[in-house]
Amino acid sequence: MASDIRVAVVGCGYWGKNLVRNFAELGALEALVDAHQPTVEALIAKHGGRALGFEAALADPGIHAVAIAAPAALHYKLAKQALEAGKHVFVEKPLALEVNEAKELCALAERLDRRLMVGHLLQYHPIFLELKTLVREGKLGRLQYVYSNRLNLGKIRREEDILWSFAPHDLSMILSLIGSEPEKVEAVGGYYLHDAIADVTTTHLAFPGGERAHVFVSWLHPFKEQKLVVVGSEAMAVFDDGEAWDRKLLLYPHKVEWKDNMPVPVKADAIPVSVPQDEPLKQECLHFIECVRSGATPRTDGREGLRVLSVLSRAAESLAQARGNGASTAAPAAKPRVAKHYPGVTVHESAYVDPGVEIGEGTKIWHFSHILGNVTLGKNVNIGQNVVIGPKVVVGNNVKIQNNVSVYEGVTLEDGVFCGPSCVFTNVNNPRSEIARKSEYRPTLVKRGASIGANATIVCGHTLGEYSFIAAGAVVAKDVPAFALMAGVPAKRIGWMSHVGAKLGPDLVCPETGRRYRETGPNTLEEIA
């Protein structure tokens, strides 16, 4: 079976050899990149492909994507180079060792329209997918508690502790099942073989909806156990990866009834859940190839990897605090999220503010957002989740920027601007991933009071007039008059809007405030004094 998508595997050792085998079986293996030539030669003899250096693989136009299975400390650097070279990237967990690095990779992939996927393998396990279906269909009732054990004797590491080595898979599954991010993360650990590397950790998670979870990991355990237990109000389920396939997923219709004002457990026999057998890694590799081919968002894309990394980082911080603020055992010390203190400003603990940023009083910056250097934010600005601003961006007072918006260099938002979820700003007219065009950035000015609807695109080099209104999904490719209501692809004026965002009728009188307007030209409106 031959694939039209060609993949280079970077790192062909302990785990990378499995990626080589699967991409070869899927007909997508093009090249192998590893410094240990005997390993590469042996794999080529068995699975095909050709030996290349990393730079040569990135420069090869016949290679569409790279799969990175290098040491975790190299993930950020290698993934960034590959994305900048225009390649789609699959990277084993964790996406990076620092949250700000992971955010940068996500933003880079989105800007270059490249697929970025993280190897959270168990999200492609047919058993877990069936378990997730049971939860989503309400077969367990209201989700209450989830816990996972990932225990074994070895493989003991020195480059990372047990939390970073074992827990990412479990955290990825738990976040996927619950569908939200924890509001509280606490971790404790034991240090038995090395004073600074945890061998055993337990991480406790509390979620906004009342769900609770914990993750117990250890490489000092007398036997192997990989078990995920999900407790709901109507039933319970166990995913035990150590069991035979037909017993890996068991549904327990246990209930708790109240009698004489006391909870009484009502036990039931376990029901095996039948699931067609398949290799998770094969499904993971196939999913990546299909996403590269179709442009679809991977199930475990960069943003999913970022969420898992954020929880890992919070757990590592908690672990260090539990040791009396000793050195972190998880990864290299993270850079401070907030470069300096801003009086009267709210910055969520998962957000990053780089040096050189000015922020006005009353501004709020929410989950997983990143404010780059040389950005000015006015007073009472509200920045939603997963927002990237900068560098060199000016945002006025009372601006609202909803979730998943990137405001790039060259954009200026005046006072009172509203940016709807996932709206898009560009800063180059003809981008190419392999050609740097920073000298060709074109400015975009969004004037006072303008509103931009969800998923709208604002092509750079244009001005949006005061109190203009861009409908959801519109593509603006020319200057927009003040008060204009724009819709369509490309966007055209279909009416006028008042100061308060009410559509004006033929009489040009605001139905909400009574303010009166008049047309002074075919595309010009002004308020009557």
In a domain, 192, yes or no: yes
Does one domain contain both 57 and 199? no
Does one domain contain both 168 and 314? yes
Burial environment of residue 439 by CB neighbours within 10 A (0 to 12, 13 to 18, 19 or more): exposed
Supply the range of the domain harboring residue 75. Answer: 7-119+281-291
Q: DSSP of 216-233, one letter per residue?
A: EEESEEEEEEEEEEEEES
Share of the chain above pLDDT 90, in %: 72
In a domain, 273, yes or no: yes
* 404-419 pLDDT tens trace: 899 998 899 999 999 9
The two three-digit tokens of residue 235, written as one number: 């039933």
- pLDDT at residue 139 greater than cutoff 60: yes
**Residue 109's closest CA among 160, 65, 144?**
65
* 151-195 pLDDT tens trace: 999 777 766 788 888 899 999 999 999 999 999 999 999 988 887
Q: What is the pLDDT of residue 101?
A: 92
In a domain, 157, yes or no: yes
| Reported confidence tier of residue 1, pLDDT bands at 50, 70, 90 | low
Does one domain contain both 96 and 128? no
Does one domain contain both 135 and 70? no
The two three-digit tokens of residue 21, written as one number: 């085998």
Question: How far is residue 266's CA from residue 254's CA, in Å, rounded to a whole number?
Answer: 6
In a domain, 387, yes or no: no
Please compute the mean of the pLDDT values over residues 17-23 and round it to a whole number. 96
* 297-322 pLDDT tens trace: 999 999 999 999 999 999 988 988 87
Q: What is the pLDDT of residue 377?
A: 95
Q: What is the pLDDT of residue 160?
A: 73
Lowest mean pLDDT among 154-163, 321-330, 472-481: 321-330
What does the buried/exposed string (b/e) look like for 199-231 if buried means 16 or more CB atoms within 10 Å of the residue's CB?
A: bbbbbbbebeeebbbbbbbbbebeeebbbbbbb
Please compute the mean of the pLDDT values over residues 424-439 and round it to a whole number. 82
CATH code (residue 30):
3.40.50.720
In a domain, 349, yes or no: no
CATH code (residue 267):
3.30.360.10
Q: Which residue has the higher pLDDT, 1 or 390?
A: 390
The two three-digit tokens of residue 406, written as one number: 């990137």
Question: How far is residue 334's CA from residue 336's CA, in Å, rounded to a whole number?
Answer: 6
In a domain, 267, yes or no: yes
* 218-268 pLDDT tens trace: 999 999 999 999 999 899 999 999 999 999 999 998 877 778 778 878 788
| Reported confidence tier of residue 339, pLDDT bands at 50, 70, 90 | low
Does one domain contain both 136 and 227? yes
Share of the chain above pLDDT 70, in %: 96
- pLDDT at residue 333 greater than cutoff 90: no
Q: What is the pLDDT of residue 306?
A: 94
Does one domain contain both 78 and 221? no
Question: How far is residue 487's CA from residue 484's CA, in Å, rounded to a whole number?
Answer: 10
Does one domain contain both 21 and 65? yes
Query: Domain total for the chain?
Result: 2
Question: How far is residue 92's CA from residue 98's CA, in Å, rounded to a whole number?
Answer: 15
Does one domain contain both 173 and 318? yes
Does one domain contain both 98 and 136? no
Residue type, position 215, single letter: V
In a domain, 165, yes or no: yes
Q: What is the pLDDT of residue 2?
A: 67
Please compute the mean of the pLDDT values over residues 83-108 and round it to a whole number. 94
Does one domain contain both 46 and 143? no
- pLDDT at residue 335 greater than cutoff 50: no
| Reported confidence tier of residue 522, pLDDT bands at 50, 70, 90 | confident
In a domain, 503, yes or no: no
Give the global pTM: 0.60
Does one domain contain both 87 and 127? no
Does one domain contain both 264 and 318? yes
